[in-house]
Amino acid sequence: MAMQLTENTLMQALNWTYDKAVNGIPGLDSAEDLASDYMKGSASLTDKANSLIRWQNGKAASAGFLSGLGGVLSLPIAIPANIGTVMYVQVRMIAAIAYMGGHNVHDDRVKSLVFACLAGDAAKDVLKDMGIVIGSKMATKAIENVSGKTIIAINQKVGFRLLTKFGEKGVINLGKAVPVLGGFIGGAVDLTTTNIIGNVARDTFICAR
């Protein structure tokens, strides 16, 4: 089955998902609550982030978990439910990592960078074009100085990357791939792709501190 996914629809879905991931949904922890659970203990911040990534990888790869989550989430946008549930898991993971790094997840600049992380390794090129080098000490300062114009540019570049990554002109074969979040076959997300996204988020929001 194929569907046409436009950049506008994609950004609507991302914005809706981000709002729910950050502000929480009845029965599900918000990104801040999730981060707080992993901030406990004496391990380094990077190790805590790695622990969060590993646990969220397991959730994202669990068809049972995603099925249950689908009963809670109901995107008001024409996008398959299986995409929306995995999108929620990954966006919340990235936002939690941003919060662990001391960033304000209610800031549009941070939200834009969370979206960029969904592009995985491609995020490095997108952000480098905007003067943000992932993993560098100057990255945090650059994030703080991102302008509204730059936010729009980042979102446009990310949207284009995510669409072209999974199908020419945004046409996605749902039997073979899930847009934004990587391979989704038989109810399981490609764990490797999820891990890459988590690592990019860690390097963006924590290792740059």
pTM of the predicted model, to two decimals? 0.79
Cα gap 125→44, rounded to integer Å: 28
pLDDT for 188-200, tens place per residue? 445 677 788 899 9
pLDDT for 101-151, tens place per residue? 999 999 988 898 899 888 888 887 877 777 777 766 556 666 667 778 888
Q: Please report, rounded to a whole number, the percentage of residues in the chain having pLDDT higher than 90.
A: 22
Tell which wins on pLDDT, 203 or 137. 203
Residue 187 pLDDT class (50, 70, 90 cuts): very low
* pLDDT value, residue 58: 75
* pLDDT value, residue 42: 85
DSSP the chain: -EEE--HHHHHHHHHHHHHHHHH-BTTB--HHHHHHHHS-SSS-HHHHHHHHHHHHHHHHT-HHHHHHHHTT---SSSS-HHHHHHHHHHHHHHHHHHHHTT--TTSHHHHHHHHHHTTTTHHHHHHHTTT--TTSTTHHHHHHT--HHHHHHHHHHHHHHHHHHHSGGGEEETTT-BTTTB-EETTEE-HHHHHHHHHHHHHHHTTT-
Cα gap 195→54, rounded to integer Å: 7
Cα gap 9→157, rounded to integer Å: 15
Instruction: Delimit the domains of the chain by residue range.
Output: 2-205
| Candidate ranges 7-21, 92-106, 128-142, 155-169; pick with highest mean pLDDT | 92-106
Least confident span in 19-23, 56-60, 201-205: 56-60
- Whether residue 205 has pLDDT greater than 80: yes
